[in-house]
Amino acid sequence: MTNVERWAPDALDGPVADPDHHHVLFENDEVRVVETRIPAGARSPVHTHHRRQVQYFLSGSHFCRRDPSGVVLVDSRAIEGFVLPRVQWSDGTPAHTLENTGSDELHVIGIELKGGGEPTT
């Protein structure tokens, strides 16, 4: 099995499970670029981000990430002095929902790497 086959999207892949908020901007054998836009007050349905990626935040302030059963994993409002980073690395994110609890749109460009590593479960 090739890396590309191993990284093939599944039913919970962001652009598949949540096409209202996740859009593939570019894809080749090495990378996939996904744009995520979640308006203030909106919540995404359950989805995943299996691939390792660099995330570039264009806007946003606060969010609440929950697991599929609704348990809060991260609520940025509870982190004293939290500031959304401009750029960060992610090893992938298992199934979750994301609620934009900030006052502006959460807008992220994710550059997903297809080669090497194992998917996040």
Which tokens belong to 87?
Answer: 């750029």
| CATH 2.40.50.140 applies to domain 3-113 | no
- pLDDT, block means (10 residues), the chain with 121 residues: 47 95 97 98 95 97 96 97 96 95 97 73 54
Q: Nearest-CA neighbor of 95 among 32, 54, 49? A: 49
Domain residue spans in the chain?
3-113
Q: What is the model's pLDDT at position 22?
A: 98
Determine the pLDDT at residue 54.
98
Tally helices (H) and strands (E) across the chain: 2, 9
At residue 121, the pLDDT reads 54
Rounded distance between C-alpha atoms, residue 100 and residue 7, angstroms: 27
What b-and-e string marks burial along 60-93, b requiring 16 or more CB atoms within 10 Å of the CB? bbbbbebeeeeeeeeebeeeeeeeeeeeeeeebb
What's the whole-model pTM score?
0.86
Q: Which residues contact 118 (CB under 8 A, 6 or more apart)?
A: none
Q: What is the pLDDT of residue 115?
A: 78
What is the per-residue pLDDT for 4? 36
Give the pLDDT score at 49. Answer: 92
